[in-house]
Structure 1
């Protein structure tokens, strides 16, 4: 395998949860598995650090990033800025091919039920968000989104354990697609931002119950998280 192939393979293993959040990535074991020396493995690990899904701890080595509520809030706040504009541009551009893709995604989403929402919801949700960014035709937005998308996949791995969060996300995705197809950029952007805030709040409330409204990082209030 080339270095880029190893990078893609290790990244995918992390995003597929073959390595759990917080798990150590032992350089010696990776070298043996991929049959390469320590220098290229270290370069790959530093690349994953830059992508936000691995962290390096001094004197301890490399670990799969373990997301705290503050990191999740930052991820969704960034996504709201990027994807809010992207969905507006996608709606305004009205690309026929993108619209057909969105119609197909809507069908796949509406066919999901509670028995397959944990798998199908994240899968088609990612396809939806990727398609919206592609439809924006803004190369800089897509570049920013690409980095955030790796960390966003880690939040999806958390959210898929809640049927209620995934069901609500599915409903938002369908509503946003309807707004795009109807040619309403204001509604499209509003729903996208609301969707991301609501999902963020749902994840924090469900999986980080120690976070209380009014006690945020650096003394700041968390009341704005997920507020409609």
Structure 2
């Protein structure tokens, strides 16, 4: 756990009163954002016990922003709070993984069909640059970076079709799915097939071949079902 100062990244406030407000808000978000990232990246694996006291000491902050962060993370399904027993990083819920995958499949098949009708040139450039970075990441494996590039690839498709708010909804629904995806990336660095699927999608969009693009997207997202079965067998303690 990183030891972060409660003043990390803050700019000088304009008044003592605003200093208290700004510092309180920033510290709360700093703790929340860092803990959420550590949970999603599996640096805090499913089932890990965490305590307000220890987190507050690690971050060098009071327990109030930690408690508030715990509440937010519990509301998002990333923490489980058991009175008199403690707080734990939630196990990955298989039914929620499948529900998020189902939603993504339906929406992303529709979006990639839209992309085949019209897709801005600048977004094509973004996709090409993303593919180049994915290939570089394959040569020097970085699980977190690959996950980020994967997310950026798909979010660019939504942005290019003027559906960015739809992508935001997907993100909110995908915390359990994303942890299983991260687990897959970290347990197997053979990402060639993943990258090739992305490249084929871009080519189908360029060719305005909606049927092919939709089929590729469906195949791409249904791979999660196969991956999930393997992951549950390999890491049974991570799943509920």
Q: For this structure pair, what is the TM-score category when the shorter chain's length is used for normalisation?
A: 0.7 to 0.9
Structure 1: gaps (5+ residues): 211-228
Pairing 1:208–2:227 present: no
The correspondence of residues 22-171 of structure 1 with structure 2, limited to 5 A, is: 22-110=47-135, 113=138, 116=141, 121-160=146-185, 161-163=187-189, 166-171=191-196
**Equivalent pairs, count:** 208
Secondary structure, in 3 states, of the residue corresponding to 2:208? coil
1:153–1:204 distance in 2 versus 1, CA, 3 Å? closer
Give per-residue Cα distances to partners, 1:52-105, cap 9 Å, x unaligned.
332333443332222143333223222212322333334433111111111122
Could you tell me how far apart the structure 2 residues matched to 1:127 and 1:82 are? 16
Per-residue CA shift, 1:156-180, capped at 9, x if unaligned?
221111245x332222111112112
State how far apart, in whole Å, the 2-side matches of 1:16 and 1:205 are: 20
Q: Give 1:197 shift.
A: 0.7
> Which of the pair has the greater relative contact order for Cα pairs under 8 Å at 6+ separation?
2
Runs of 4+ in 1 over 4 A off after TM superposition: 110-115, 117-121
CA drift of 1:202 comes to 2.5
Q: Show CA shifts across 1:173-199 (max 9, x none).
A: 11112112222333323321221112x
Q: CA-atom RMSD, angstroms?
A: 2.7
Unaligned runs of 5+ in 2: 1-5, 7-25, 235-240
The answer for the alignment partner of 1:221 in structure 2 is none
Q: Which secondary structure does the structure 1 equivalent of 2:80 belong to? A: strand
Contact 1:106 1:177 in 2 (8 A): no
* CA–CA distance in structure 2, aligned partners of residues 119 and 38 of structure 1: 29
Query: Does structure 2 conserve the Cα–Cα contact (< 8 Å) formed by 1:79 and 1:145?
Result: yes
